[in-house]
Amino acid sequence: MAVYEQTYKRYQGFLTPEWSRFLVLPRYAFRDVFKGRLFAIFFTLCFLPPFAGLLMIYLHHNMSALSALGLPAEELKRMLPIDAEFFWRGLWVQGGLTFAITLLVGPALVAPDLRNNGLALYLSRPFSRAEYVLGKMFVLIALLSLLTWIPGLLLFLFQSYLEGGGWMMDNLRIAGALFTGSWMWILMLSLLAMVVSATVKWKPVARVALMAIFFVLMGFGGAINEALDTWWGMLISSWHVIGSIWLSLFGLEPSNELPPAGPAWVAWTVGCAICLWLLSRRLRAYEVVR
């Protein structure tokens, strides 16, 4: 058919609701993330610690199983109580694994779009910068949630079911700490990964930069503490900041190796605010050079 015979026809298909348009980005991103077999295997292995916690809770309430294994039941129950420290240690382990997941996935979220000038194509459509950031962050938020607060709350419910006697109502603080602490760590990691990915633009270099921010600042903060005999240095270490916040949320005794909870909360807020500001500066359709 000749071109001049073509007439404009309005699209008659299904329109995606405006509130869910950002989900287009993670839909394709998940396909790329799990394309690698090694990543899929590693992500599956990250569920082993929650599964180990599930077995520990079950054995803690099953005296016959402990006896069949030839283990001292009463002594083990005293040595490994299912309390706030048990769930805090589980979150601590999963926190380290989620950093590894962020290291693998985060640098590839924004860098290819900026390197290939693809951001203008996104923003030329009914997409705002906030929706673009939310869509990209949703990939990390979903993956990290599956490894932190979701299995943590499932273990909490399992323990509540087996313990009975109002244990859930007496320990609701643990559930709140799991949910709040996990989300604070997820937001910190996601924003940091987005900033590094938007700044460096090359995935291998971005991974090195993310590791440097995490480990070099940790070492530098420790050096400041040793030199000045203070705790202020650890406020530049994201791992020590979130560790102090987790202890305060679970109501556990503060550690001498971590900064106090109050300054840690301030450091977390300031760090997230800086990341948001940097994202607003870096994520633009075109960069004007003066």
pLDDT tens column, 29-45: 888 888 888 889 999 99
Q: Which helix (H) or strand (E) holds 44?
A: helix 37-45
> Does residue 161 carry a pLDDT above 80?
yes
From the list 190, 215, 193, 217, the residue with the least C-alpha distance to 203 is 193
Least confident of 1-5, 113-117, 187-191: 1-5
- pLDDT score for 121: 76
pLDDT tens column, 212-270: 888 888 888 888 888 877 878 889 989 999 999 999 999 998 888 888 999 999 999 99
- Which pTM value belongs to this model? 0.87
- pLDDT score for 1: 47
CA distance 192 to 214: 10
Contacts of 77 (CB under 8 A, 6+ apart): 60
pLDDT tens column, 84-126: 999 999 999 999 999 999 999 988 888 777 777 777 777 777 7
User: Which amino acid is present at 174?
Assistant: I
